[in-house]
Amino acid sequence: MYLNEAGSDLVYHEPIDFEYEPSGFLPKVENLKVRKWALEIHSLWKNLSRKVDDKVIENPDLYTLLPLKYPTVIPGSRFREVYYWDSYRVIRGLLASPMYESAKSIVYNLISLVDEYGFILNGARAYYSNRSQPPLLSAMVSEIYNRTNDLSFIKKSLPALLKEHKFWNSGVHKVKIQDSKGCIHSLSRYYAMWNKPRPESFTIDKESALKLLNDCDKQHFYRELASTAESGWDFSTRWMRNQSDLTTLATTSILPVDLNTYVLKMELDIAFMAKTIGDRLTAEHFLEASEARRTAINSIFWNTEKGQWFDYWLSNNCEEVHQWEAQGENQISFASNFVPIWIELFNSDDSTVKKVVKSLQSSGLLCAAGIATTLSHSSEQWDFPNGWAPLQHVIVEGLARSSLKEAGSMAEDIAIRWIRTNYETYKETGTMHEKYDVEACGKFGGGGEYVPQTGFGWSNGVVLAFLEEFGWPQDLEIGC
């Protein structure tokens, strides 16, 4: 049997909108050293641009790669195809570059997955057809529209967004819960349609399940592994009943703060887009849906005393309507507890923002080089001391959008720390990394089930987005 070399199903693509020194690039970056580095990151888009080889388009049944029609930008290293939630930060970087057509191409590919499967797969491989990833398609469409004012782009995108919303709000992903006042809310959870070892990590999953004695327990564990992969946080003690035992993953029994924030963003985006193209009924429907979810997020997740939104652990998956109980609230500090600050409904409320700023400052998550993902010292990659670009981005952007001065100062401070550690590590290693060790400036991250990856799509995108937002003064030192 002959197997093609890994990555041979994708070929290099020359992006049509790439310029080595685009006009108007990062106007707030005054420091020449930082500008030179930013242009080097910008040039990485050229290196990471790919398109599906014609042989895959002609014979799709012979390949695991999905025959996507448009060029794309890959994350890098072992991630040789498009990945769903990575794409949002890649697009934010492309918009800063500015490479609007490349950004649109990524969205068109993702829309084609919704058309084919009813949702966006974790990544563009046939073996990912059992799960999705954090839903950020609406945010991608919204950001591109904000730059281009392209109404036809919204019109092409809206049907896919409606389908994706249905996916996250029906079947196994939908959970009903009654709060302490007797009000019933609908929220979303991660739940992969799979109960076998993940094909892309088959051997690792089989080994992890060896301690489980019966097939039923193994199948349950495999579903939890795949559902955790759907969360993007694969893996973290956030999802474990016992923080030292991966087989106690319970992701399908958790209502996650961040997922429901992303679905709320989707509802707000759909309402805005529908209104923009004159679809009043759809706009009103999704405005009502967003109000209901905001109420649910505040009722089920928000802890006003702690100043954080906490994940909620369901006590029994068999109930049709779960009852909120105080012991279901997971009061451990995770970076995800602060993700709702990204949404204007929350960051425009000064009293909420004040509590969030104070809580983040005292949480222990704020480190020398950025925000730690959790405080748990495990060997999992979505735990301490790793910091990840998407979490820095969403929290910083939310704080920066607040009118509160201390929130804006905190946002800029975190962004500076993150930019510095990316710069210093780049200078040391010659590459951008997938994750960083936030305990000290200038260290890349480790842990998890594969070696640290470089490239790297979302890290590039977030650095460019931060430099676009905050700039870099001439007299501010860039090194650690």
Catalytic residue ranges: 234, 434
Are the beta carbons of 373 and 437 closer than 8 angstroms? Answer: no
Q: What one-character-per-residue DSSP string does 288-306 give?
A: HHHHHHHHHIIIIIEETTT
In whole angstroms, what is the distance from residue 168 CA to residue 136 CA? 12
Burial (Cβ within 10 Å: 0-12, 13-18, ≥19) of residue 293 = buried
The distance of Cα 155 from the centroid of its chain, to the nearest Å, equals: 24
Residues 6+ apart with CB under 8 A from 421: 369, 370, 436, 438, 441, 442, 443, 480
Nearest to 300 by CA among 178, 188, 169: 178
What is the distance of C-alpha 304 from the center of its chain? 26
**Who's near 68: CB < 8 A, 6+ residues apart?**
52, 82, 109, 112, 124
Strand partners, 303: 308
Q: Read off the tokens for 117.
A: 């499967």
Angle at 178 between CA 175 and CA 181, to 5 degrees: 155
Environment class of residue 200 by beta-carbon count within 10 Å: exposed (0-12), middle (13-18) or buried (19+)? middle
Contact 55, 104 (CB under 8 A): no
> Could you tell me which residues are beta bridge partners of residue 437?
386
- In the numeric block, which tokens belong to residue 274? 């529908």
Q: With beta carbons less than 8 A apart as the criterion, state whether 72 and 106 touch.
A: yes
Phi, psi of 275 (to 5 degrees): -65, -40
